[in-house]
Amino acid sequence: MMPVRRDLRFALPAERACDWHQQGSHVTHFFNALSLLFPAGERFFMDSVRNYRDSIDDPVLKKQVLGFIGQEAMHTREHIEYNDLLQSAGLPAHKLDRRLTWFLNQHRKMPKSFQLAMTVALEHYTAMLAGLLLEDDTRIAGSVPGYLQMWTWHALEETEHKAVSFDVWNAALKPGPLRYLLRTGTMLAVTLVFWMIVFDFHVRLLIADRKRGGHVRGMWRVIKYLYGPRHGVFPGIAMEWLRFFKPGFHPWDHDNRAQLARIDSLVAAVHLANAADPAALKTSQTSRRGVRAAA
């Protein structure tokens, strides 16, 4: 699978930044909390893979690494702009981003193999969450189109490059029990810290947006969204998470490449929407620039 860098822009209506998900603002803020992780997180991913670029001999993997970096760079750019919308809506987006950047920078002092193990674990998380979004229409369908397109694009590209950091890991580190223990031990630590941060960011966004109201129904929806036995996020990823601990695990063991057939039509739909309403794209970009200038 060769990741392709796609330079896309999305029309994100600023006034819907806190309420774009079909299931309301509380579920929206779960996604917004994830969005706040991406700029700092994906920069960390790119750098931890870059650390090993020179030790890769396989020309195909070398190209896949370039594609991976190209895709994550685009995701970072778009999520910075998305997060600026949250900031302009009165949410503490920049503060939380700075906090996460500081936290991840501490990990850059750790051994490079540990940094890559973190990336491998977190890329498994993005692949699991992306898979959920793509494989079950109930999870995002009916949401505001620009946001829906952006999350679908991100989910498709996360699927497309889900094995790249893992293949770098296998190519660069000596096989054996130590490599297995580092990979799985890091996954356990990452799981704890990742969900603590998502929970913390989610709660902070909900508190910052508390004037919106509807909390009883909203909290019920978000609990169902995360824990519901049929469509919940946690039950949905449980098996995939466990598979990571198999000694011979590979991300493509879960073969969902059929989802990628949607990419071309999505790209065409984004171009069509932007051409049909260039003002919407321009408005959302102007308001994002305004926030950055004021920050």
By CB under 5 A, name the binding residues for Fe ion.
72, 75, 126, 158
Query: Measured at CB, which residue is nearest to Fe ion?
Result: 75
- Smallest distance from the beta carbon of 126 to Fe ion, in angstroms? 5
Q: Rounded to an integer, what distance in angstroms lies between the CA atom of residue 6 and that of residue 260?
A: 14
Nearer to Fe ion by C-beta: 34 or 291? 34
CB atoms within 10 A of CB 184: 16
Q: With contact defined as beta carbons under 8 Å apart, do 136 and 236 qualify?
A: yes
- Smallest distance from the beta carbon of 76 to Fe ion, in angstroms? 8
Nearer to Fe ion by C-beta: 120 or 182? 120
User: Residues near 186 by Cβ (< 8 Å), separated by ≥ 6?
Assistant: 114, 117, 118, 120, 121
- Smallest distance from the beta carbon of 17 to Fe ion, in angstroms? 19
- Smallest distance from the beta carbon of 162 to Fe ion, in angstroms? 7
Nearer to Fe ion by C-beta: 43 or 62? 43
- Smallest distance from the beta carbon of 182 to Fe ion, in angstroms? 20
Q: For residue 133, give the nearest of 275, 266, 39 by alpha carbon.
A: 266
Nearer to Fe ion by C-beta: 67 or 236? 67
DSSP conformation letters of 118-168 = HHHHHHHHHHHHHHHHHH-GGGTTTS-HHHHHHHHHHHHHHHHTTTHHHHH
Rg of the chain in Å (alpha carbons): 19
Nearer to Fe ion by C-beta: 6 or 212? 6
* 282: its two tokens: 């321009």
Nearer to Fe ion by C-beta: 148 or 208? 148
Nearer to Fe ion by C-beta: 161 or 202? 161
- Smallest distance from the beta carbon of 274 to Fe ion, in angstroms? 21
Q: Rounded to an integer, what distance in angstroms lies between the CA atom of residue 159 and that of residue 252?
A: 9
In the block, which residue shows the tokens 């996954």? 187
- Smallest distance from the beta carbon of 174 to Fe ion, in angstroms? 25
DSSP conformation letters of 78-107 = HHHHHHHHHHHTT--HHHHHHHHHHHHHHH
- Give the angle 18-233-2 at the CA atoms, nearest 5°: 90
Nearer to Fe ion by C-beta: 19 or 157? 157
Q: Rounded to an integer, what distance in angstroms lies between the CA atom of residue 13 and that of residue 31?
A: 16
- Smallest distance from the beta carbon of 42 to Fe ion, in angstroms? 5
Count how many Cα atoms sit within 13 Å of the Cα of residue 282 in the half-sphere of its side chain: 5
Q: Rounded to an integer, what distance in angstroms lies between the CA atom of residue 199 and that of residue 196?
A: 5
